[in-house]
Homo-oligomer: A and B are copies of this chain.
Amino acid sequence: MYKLDNDFTLRERALKAFPNGVYGHQASGSLSPNHPQFFSRARGCRLWDSDGNEYIDFMCGYGTNLLGYGHPRVDDAAARQQRQIDCATGPSPLMLELAEMYNDKLAHADWTIFAKNGTDATTICVMTARAQTGKNTILIADGAYHGSGPWCTPGPVGVTPGDRDHQISYDYNDVSSLRAAVEQAGNDLAAIIVSPFKHDVFVDQEWPTDEFAKAARALCDENNAALILDDVRCAFRFVLGSTWEAIGVLPDLCAMSKSVANGYSLAVVSGNDKFREGAGQIYTTGSFWFAATSFAAAMETISVIEEEDSIAAIKAAGDTLRKGLDEQASAYGFSLRQTGPSQMPLVLIDDDPMWEKNNFFCNEAAQRGVYMHPWHNMFLCAAHREADIAEALENTDGAFKALKKQFG
């Protein structure tokens, strides 16, 4: 019998311990009440909640789990490093070795800066672009998420209008809208920031057209501006490099985080020599940015990706899941919109203006041991093996059946 008793109690306590419950992207307030919030154990592609319920997890720590929770090779490398030196008065030589590894392996990268949050990385890219070009205006796709600092938080409460000076929006995948924004920026264009694909919440995802990606590259070149790829969410799920390498477009500046150290906190900015001077002029730092344990985890993550062909495994798992969900939806007579790449799918049930079907389906899936998200892109990892996907599909079949019963 599926119960969330402990979870309900913990959420009640959280309303008091935190300002208004757990906050940010893991806020339970933004999900239906029957979605579990607190987890006590994680292994491979599985989670156990505080009531002991087990899930095959299709959120993967919102992308931080790339190779499997508790990956033995990554965790061993991190633990070995932790015993030597982590956060100290100066960096370990490992910081340098990891930077050199990125500069070598990422096609666009001549230099690297390490930080802790995705927001750190996107902010450093914007500061670098402004420092290098001496210009201010940043073009940002309407509805895109680039972090939660004052300049970019999607809930702009507690910020000033000045925090968002010199920003112009464009529509993702719409070349004419991008051109219009460039024109509006005039001679003040510092950068275009863009996600590898449109992965906004609540709406269908879009892979960029070649035309759009190439236009963004060309417009930056023509205007002496930086093409900033916000690869925080996508990095290393598609290619061991900036994600647009796959379509032949290299950014000037790239922000990565989440998956790069398989769950250890790390953010990476990498850039080309055109922007080296600007990057060297900004002052950016953090108390834990030189800590070696996350660097050891990041190096081992790269080795595992290369040796175990993890990216192909992630894609295969995503393809199988997608195909299975499509078959089930049509067997039960539901129209399903699966958008975005299968490594990071968004799965939406059609004809659901009040979001009832999507929430119901995800709750039914959770009760059957499958953790899915009703409106955020999900994530596959290399620990999603064939048997896990098969087991998940067995259980989503039951969830579709329940959905059919409820909504006819």
Contacts and interface: CB of A to CB of B under 8 A. Distances in A.
A276 B19 contact: yes
Contacts of A18: 99, 111-113
B100 A13 contact: yes
B62 A96 contact: no
Contacts of A150: 123, 127, 149-151, 163
A136 B159 CA distance: 8
A75 interface: yes
A54 interface: no
Interface string A54-68: 000101111111000
Interface stretch (A81-89, A204-212, A317-325): A81-89
A260 to B, nearest CB: 10
Interface in A119-153: 119-120, 123, 126-131, 136, 148-151, 153
Interface residues of A, number: 113
Contacts of A353: none
Contacts of A96: 10, 13-14, 17, 38
A38 B92 contact: yes
A284 B157 CA distance: 10
A361 interface: no
What number of copies of this chain does the assembly contain? 2
Nearest to A263: B87
Interface stretch (A39-47, A177-185, A214-222, A330-338): A39-47
Pick the most buried of A14, A25, A49, A162: most chain B CB atoms within 10 A of its CB. A162
A17 B281 contact: no
Interface of A: 6, 10, 13-14, 16-20, 22-26, 28, 36-42, 47, 49-50, 57, 59-65, 69-70, 75, 78-79, 82-93, 95-96, 99-100, 103, 111-113, 115-120, 123, 126-131, 136, 148-151, 153-155, 157-166, 232, 257-258, 263-265, 271, 276-291, 371
Nearest to A25: B285
A117 B118 contact: no
A84 B281 CA distance: 42
A39 B163 contact: no
B91 A22 contact: yes
Given A13-B96, A287-B118, A287-B265, A90 B38 contact: yes
